[in-house]
Amino acid sequence: MDYCGYRPYWRSAYPEAVKMNKRGGFSLLEILVTLVIISVGTLAIINWMPISIRTKANLEKRATTVFLAQGKIEEIKSTALVSFNNDFNQTAPASWSVPYDNFMWTASDDRGSAIKVISVSAWHREDPNNKVNFDTKIALR
């Protein structure tokens, strides 16, 4: 049978090459390279986890500090609207009640006669350098 110079794929010119391609499995080198790649990736993830946990804890403290400071300044504002002439200075660090007893705060009042500027600072006891500050102005009505 003449194929006009074209040989179908099932009639390979190199039948031994077809037989070699039919054997399956992975070589030892391929397995070792795969293990090295997986090990490097796993080590990177393991080294990243403590940093991630520490960052999460710091962000939770920061969010709670912002929430508490905002609540304290709103509390002072509502009190100042009722009794404007009160002194709202709290220079000694005070703490909130449980479960927020690890958080501290101070407040300052400029004692203005017509407009008061009140500032509240809040921080976590373990990290006093990371303060949250809120300022507000209250006018006499």
Return phi, psi of residue 135, to 5°: -120, 145
Nearest to 48 by CA among 60, 56, 36, 38: 56
Q: pLDDT tens digits for 101-137?
A: 999 999 999 988 899 999 999 999 999 999 999 999 9
**pLDDT tens digits, 81-100:** 899 989 999 999 999 999 99
Q: Residue 20 above 60 pLDDT?
A: no
* In contact, 12 and 18? CB cutoff 8 Å: yes
Position 81 scores a pLDDT of 87
Reported as type and span, the H/E element at residue 48 is: helix 28-82
Of 8-12, 34-38, 93-97, the one with minimum mean pLDDT is: 8-12
In terms of residues, how long is the chain? 141
